[in-house]
Amino acid sequence: MNKEKSSLIFFDQTFERIFSDRNQKMIERATLWLSIIGFVVHLVLIYTKKFNLFHTPFEARLLEDPISAIYTPFSIILVYEIYLLIVYLPRSFTTAVSKQFEIISLIIIRRIFSDIPKIELDVNWFQFEANRQLIYDLSGILILYFFIYLFNRRTEKLPKKALTERLKRFVSSKRAVSVMLLPVLIFTSLYSFGNWFYELFYLEKTSSILSDVNAIFYNEFFTILILADVFILLLSFQYTERYSQLIRNTGFVICTILIRLSFATTGLTNILLILSSVLFGLLILRIYQGIEKET
């Protein structure tokens, strides 16, 4: 028992050092400046390519239209949101899943900016795939934004629980998961982007099939997140026996799985899977609150 307690204390201290307020503010400032610099650099690349000052050995749709430059700062902001998700993971299942919903909504918005240059105005709108995808994404983000709003309102109504000794140990266990998750995600992101660049500069010459730029890293990220959520769910069995909490937490794991499945699909199916994830989470939370009021 003393060994477990000392391990939890170590992870608590490590978490506080890595995710301190000072470090969070520093990363927030770095994100702001990197977003601005990335946006300007992307614009410069677009216009230098437009005037034939350089050529790419691969198809570069993100360098064809100035609107695509918005893609870069959104990508940087998404990295910051993932960092915040790791920070919020020990707080509660509800807070963590809310941050997941916000991340997937930003991924859709970023995809909209990358797909706008692909639309065709001189054809029947619904006969062209890129045009239909834009309609799906625009409609989807509005509904998704509303669902997230409802979910966050429900979250605010959850009663604040007293920090008992058992709950403190559970929070410390989740902090340990966050600390171990950070290096795994850093390695995964470097590997994913490195693999994509390899495909661009080498496989393009021998294959016409490239990884979807919008899914780079996020396939692996949500897979790892599912494993982390399941691990936290198993840990929760040690600290609570309440049926309502176990079902709620299991339901939130299913939400993450639905988001992960969406990356394997395109078009309307992709949007429907994402919306079903948030709607499922909203219903699970609503039922949980109803059960809690009766007990």
Q: What is the pLDDT of residue 208?
A: 44
Q: What is the pLDDT of residue 281?
A: 94
Listed residue (35, 41, 123, 117) closest to 76, CA to CA: 35
Compute the mean pLDDT over every residue in the chain, rounded to the nearest whole number. 83
Q: What CA–CA distance (Å, rounded) separates 193 from 15?
A: 27
* Number of residues written out for the chain: 295
Listed residue (223, 229, 209) closest to 263, CA to CA: 223
238 in Cβ contact with 226 (< 8 Å): no
| Nearest-10 crossing angle of helices 218-239, 243-262 | 170
Q: What is the pLDDT of residue 57?
A: 58
More confident residue, 285 or 2: 285
Task: Read off the tokens for 98.
Answer: 């809310």
211: left (phi over 0), alpha (psi -120 to 50) or beta: beta
| Digit-coded pLDDT (tens) for 106-116 | 989 988 887 78
Residue appearing with tokens 């003393």: 2
Q: What is the pLDDT of residue 282?
A: 94
Query: What's the rounded mean pLDDT across residues 38-64?
Result: 76
Task: Read off the tokens for 263.
Answer: 């990356």
| Digit-coded pLDDT (tens) for 56-98 | 655 566 677 788 788 888 888 888 888 989 998 888 888 889 9
196 in Cβ contact with 211 (< 8 Å): yes
Lowest mean pLDDT among 109-113, 118-122, 129-133: 118-122
Query: What's the rounded mean pLDDT across residues 124-131?
Result: 78
Return the exposure string of 61-92: e unless at least 16 CB atoms fall within 10 Å of the residue's CB, then b: ebbeeeebbbbbbbbbbbebbbbbbbbbbbeb
Q: What is the pLDDT of residue 162?
A: 65
CB atoms within 10 A of CB 242: 12
pTM equals 0.85
Which pLDDT band, with edges at 50, 70 and 90, does 207 fall under?
Answer: very low
| Nearest-10 crossing angle of helices 218-239, 165-201 | 170
Q: What CA–CA distance (Å, rounded) separates 163 from 91?
A: 12
Lowest mean pLDDT among 72-76, 150-154, 237-241: 237-241
Task: Read off the tokens for 186.
Answer: 């850093």
Query: What's the rounded mean pLDDT across residues 133-138?
Result: 90
Q: What is the pLDDT of residue 54?
A: 66
Lowest mean pLDDT among 114-118, 248-252, 254-258: 114-118
Alpha-helix runs per DSSP H in the chain: 2-18, 21-50, 71-88, 93-115, 129-156, 165-201, 218-239, 243-262, 267-294
Residue type, 113: F
More confident residue, 80 or 1: 80
Instruction: Check pLDDT > 90 for residue 36.
Output: yes
Q: What is the pLDDT of residue 206?
A: 43
Which pLDDT band, with edges at 50, 70 and 90, does 205 fall under?
Answer: very low
Q: What is the pLDDT of residue 167?
A: 76
Instruction: Check pLDDT > 80 for residue 13.
Output: yes
What value does the CA radius of gyration of the chain take, rounded to a whole number of Å?
21
Q: What CA–CA distance (Å, rounded) separates 61 from 68?
A: 8
